[in-house]
Amino acid sequence: MSYLIRRGEALDARGVYAVERACFSDPYPSFLLDDLIKTQQGHFFVAIDEGKIIGYTVASVNGKEGHVISVAVDPRHRRKGIGRALLSAVVAKLAEEGIEQIHLEVRKGNAGGISFYKRMGYRVFSEIRHYYADGEGAWVLKRPTRSCAYVDG
């Protein structure tokens, strides 16, 4: 399988929202994703296969810290390195801008997501109770921008 990682564009909104709905039980609303594509344009990346969006990631910046808002890969395309490529693209962009640290939130019950982020160099920093609309808590994970990008195993 070959796929392309590129910056997100306004025309990608429909495909990004389709991925969002396929990945999450409580998806971000389409208007929020549209806004993120516009306001975080330099930090919004999509994965495309045969002209179709199969994943995306977006981050924001506050001072010297980056925040990965979302990483999503269509369930039919997982375990092929797409999430790693997307996250690596946004981390590289943040590093290029001089961002020193990156954080993100992940559901406490998302064992696959937690494992993925740990392989990408993130470590549990803190907990946010009742973070999600259904009451589930989140782990806050952090990593320095310039740490190793991928840890096998």
Contact 86, 47 (CB under 8 A): yes
This prediction has a pTM of 0.92
pLDDT at 145 (0 to 100): 87
pLDDT at 13 over 80: yes
The CA angle 83-130-153, to the nearest 5 degrees, is 30
Position 45 pLDDT exceeds 90:
yes
Dig out the tokens for 37 from the structure. Answer: 């594509």
Domains of the chain with bracketed CATH: 4-144 (3.40.630.30)
Q: pLDDT at position 1, please?
A: 57
Say if residue 2's pLDDT is above 90.
no
pLDDT digits (tens, 9 = 90+) for 55-114: 999 999 999 999 999 999 999 999 999 999 999 999 999 999 999 999 999 999 999 999
Which residue type occupies 55? Answer: G
Q: What is the dihedral of CA 147, 150, 152, 153, to 10 degrees?
A: 80
User: Exposed (0-12), middle (13-18) or buried (19+): which is 114, by Cβ within 10 Å?
Assistant: middle
Residues 102 and 120: beta-carbon distance below 8 Å: no
Name the least confident of 1-10, 79-88, 124-133. Answer: 1-10
